[in-house]
A and B are shown apart, each in its own frame.
Chain A
Amino acid sequence: MSEAPQPILLSSHLLGIEGLSVGEITALLDLADEYVALGRAKQKKSPLLRGRTVINLFFEPSTRTQSSFELAGKRLGADVMNMSVRTSSVTKGETLIDTATTLNAMRPDILIVRHQNSGATSMLARKVDCCVVNAGDGAHEHPTQALLDALTIRRRGRNFEGLTVAICGDVLHSRVARSNIHLLAKMGARVRLIGPKTLMPAAVARFGVETFTDMREGLKGVDIVMMLRLQLERMSGAFVPSTREYFRYWGLDREKLSHANPGALVMHPGPMNRGVEIDSAVADDLEVSLIHEQVEMGVAIRMAVLDALSRGLPAGERTI
């Protein structure tokens, strides 16, 4: 890395893909490539964030995203603190503002936030002085997931221009789907959504995507199949009659995958519900499944994001 790193992000927060430019996304992916190499070396650490404090603030339980951010911060030499806040139904939003102002007083440099409510992260970003990374807010955005998905696709030598990507399953409740739709559209890929109509948002066509109920039909001509987790804990009512019916029509198995383009690759943000949205035979087939690569790319992309945001941090002491 050069002596005076170039700024990458216009904003001092990463709250969503929607506000990013193609240039910013490409620069983040380029930077992440360097961190993939670092992660594969014996000496995995960089002193870039030495002395900086990174706080993982998770209002919603998460194992992989939280540990991915933690590892990214530690590999960059930052002090990483994990905070899991259990929210009772009584105190919910109050906790958010209170916790934010409390943490802000501890003068962290970067705050990584996951919250079950859409918009909670941007609300919090307005209340603190440090950089905020959205690690998933409600059904709104999960920008680092979309970035790591893009990195995975790009490193497989696929060009976004002309690429057809199908996002399958619970689009309605999925922040992963929204962030990916924004990112893929910006990068020139064609996006299709496949799933039961109860799990498709209204006005989804306004996103410039094609939607399909029939998975076999929807997978025709597809290069990348992104499966979404059927978020059972988010279901506020009966959106699908049963998991077995769901698997029958929208679970990805070899037969359904055979309708996609030859060489089509399968992705899943994890954790998977085997036998609900994806068949183990597909998930574990290293020829088609990118699921493990996604996890590796996750650490690299989060290092790139922390690096990019830290470039905007004041080098000297803060006076206020």
Chain B
Amino acid sequence: MSRTVFHNARLIDPASGLDAIGGLVVEDGKIADAGPHLLAEINRDDAAVIDCQGLVLAPGLIDMRVSTGEPGSEHRETLKSASRAAVAGGVTTIIVMPNTDPVIDEPSLVGFIRRRAEATARVRVLPMAALTRHMAGEVMTEIGLLKEAGAVAFSDGDRTISNTRVLRRALAYASGFGVLVVGHAEDPDLTDGTAVNEGEYAMRLGLPSAPAMAEVMIVERDIRLVELTGARYHFGQISTAASLEAIAKAKARGLPITCGVSAHHLALNELDIGTYFTFMKMKPPLRAEADRAAMVEGVASGIIDVIVSSHDPQAADTKRQPFAQAAFGAVGLETLLPVALSVYHEDRADLLHVMKALTWAPAKILGLESGTLAKGAPADLVLFDPDAPFVVDPEKLHSRARNTPFKGRHFQGQAIKTYVGGECVFECGASA
């Protein structure tokens, strides 16, 4: 029986509301016990005891929105390289998007992702499957079989299903299996061919733009479809104050709706595009400052359930283009924790609350056993220093891609050690 003991840690367990100095015992990859009561019982001289020196020990992060290039464009990112980035950022579970080549719309492809992850990745990789075949928004996938094969949720990635009837039927069918549908809210007709958020800055730059309203239009439509079908529905990431308001109302009415926000949309606004900096080009686009502030408020109030990285690695050739032609997307796995912690450092929410959006909330939405320090839960843990300075250096990222929008920015929060199933998979400063 393998046993590891963490001592003198600031235990943060959003599931139970625990925030106290204490100890944690791991046995056979699972959490055997945790709490302040363990402080006295531990023999500090034992070799298997790790003195955490008061740093935070929390459930490992669960990132609900990660794109890799595997299969199909491994030059961007593989499951292996993404997992390297993940553990460096304290992330122990990644939910991977189905928007690969081929699209994950077949049970055998779900199996492929799981086998590749098993063989190469250091973190838990949970595949999402497409909601419609080829993510074309026309014909629903084999939701039941895909679920059996291991798909944890269904999504057409960053495509909005424009045909309301198709979506209605997919949601109705999905609700029969109790599966989670993850939607993307951008009116496809309004946003087609555009690159940025409509407004003064877009006009100054002369870039094709779509109104922020294009998001809430779909949010409101999808809320009505949830009302109609009873499907469990999660907005993968929202970015506008209007969407937040619509979702708050829907939640108040008791609809089974949750939502996420990307770390990028918590920390950046449209002005960060500067002089056509293509690393700032993402879907949905960076919004006005009032919308960014609303996203922080939404996390603080809990209307926004989860914070995601929206990790989307892009190779240099697709980013080194004129802005309108450049690819969308930014990497984010390694910056997720420090960027999310800025909500705590800016006194907008306490540490427990921010950590909940990164651990327990996504675990609950996805029905996972992890995301908690409860007895019997998998020992997926992150030991981190919430105050340590974190300066984003693209050269030091573990991801295969370098397209971080945070180059040179200063944050606080650094993962020191990351454990998956009780096994240490990352140690800060150690060679990867």
Chain A residues at the B interface, C-beta cutoff of 8 Å: 18, 92-94, 96-97, 115, 117-120, 122-123, 137-141, 175, 178, 201-204, 206-207, 236
Known: A175-B206, A201-B203, A203-B203. A117 touches B322 (CB 8 A): yes
List 26 A-B pairs, Cβ < 8 Å: A18-B204, A92-B321, A93-B321, A93-B322, A94-B317, A96-B321, A115-B322, A117-B323, A118-B205, A118-B206, A118-B322, A119-B205, A119-B275, A119-B322, A120-B322, A122-B275, A122-B276, A138-B207, A140-B206, A141-B206, A202-B199, A202-B209, A202-B211, A206-B200, A207-B200, A236-B193
Is B203 a contact partner of A96 (Cβ separation < 8 A)? no
Q: Please measure, in the bound complex, the distance between the C-alpha atom of A80 and the C-alpha atom of B373, giving whole angstroms.
A: 71
A200 nearest CB neighbor, chain B only: B203
B326 within 8 A of A: yes
B199's nearest neighbour on chain A, judged by CB, is A203
Whether a CB of chain A sits under 8 angstroms from the CB of B325 is yes
B203 contacts A204, CB within 8 Å?
yes
Q: In the assembled complex, which residues on chain B have CB atoms less than 8 Å from the CB atom of A94?
A: 317, 321
Which residues of the partner chain A approach B326 to less than 8 Å between Cβ atoms? 93
Residue of B nearest to A18 (CB): B204
Residues from chain B with a CB closer than 8 A to the CB of A203 are 198-200, 202-203
CA distance A207 to B204 in the complex (A): 9
User: Which A-chain residue is minimally distant from B325 (CB atoms)?
Assistant: A93
Residue contact B199 to A178, C-beta cutoff 8 Å:
no
User: A202 to B209, alpha carbons, bound, how many Å?
Assistant: 9
- Asked if B249 lies at the interface with its beta carbon under 8 angstroms from chain A, I say no
Q: B324 touching A117 by the CB < 8 A rule?
A: yes
Question: Nearest Cβ distance between residue B41 and chain A, in whole angstroms?
Answer: 61
A140→B198 CA distance, assembly (Å): 15
Which residues of chain B in 203-222 are interfacial with respect to chain A, using CB atoms and an 8 Å cutoff?
A: 203-209, 211
Counted as pairs of residues, one from A and one from B, with CB atoms less than 8 Å apart, the total is 75
Contacts of B322 in A (CB 8 A): 92-93, 96, 115, 117-120, 123, 138
Residues on the B chain within 8 Å of A138, using CB: 206-207, 322, 324
Interface centre among B206, B211, B275, B326 (most CB of A within 10 A): B206
A202 touches B198 (CB 8 A): yes
Residue in B199, B321, B323 whose beta carbon sits within 8 Å of that of A118 in the complex: B323
How many Å from the CB of A92 to the closest CB on chain B? 6
Digit string of B319-332 for contact with A (CB within 8 Å is 1, else 0)?
A: 01111111000000
- Nearest CB to that of A119 among chain B residues? B276
Chain B nearest Cβ from A186, distance in angstroms: 14
Contact A118 B275 (CB under 8 A): no
The docked-state distance in angstroms from the alpha carbon of A140 to that of B195 is 14
Chain A residue with the shortest CB-CB distance to B194: A236
Across the interface, B203 reaches (CB within 8 A) one of A92, A120, A123, A202, namely: A202
Distance in Å: Cβ of B135 to nearest Cβ of chain A: 22
Best-surrounded residue of B200, B203, B209, B320 (most CB of chain A within 10 A): B203
Smallest CB–CB gap between B56 and chain A, Å?
Answer: 41
Among residues 308 to 355 in chain B, which have CB atoms less than 8 Å away from a CB atom of chain A? 317, 320-326
Question: What is the bound-complex CA distance between A122 and B322, given in angstroms?
Answer: 9
Interfacial chain B residues near A236, Cβ < 8 Å: 193, 208
A132 to chain B, nearest CB (A): 13
- For the complex formed, measure the closest distance between the CB of B48 and the CB atoms of chain A, giving whole angstroms: 54
A119 touches B200 (CB 8 A): no
Residues of B within 8 A of A92 (CB): 321-322, 325
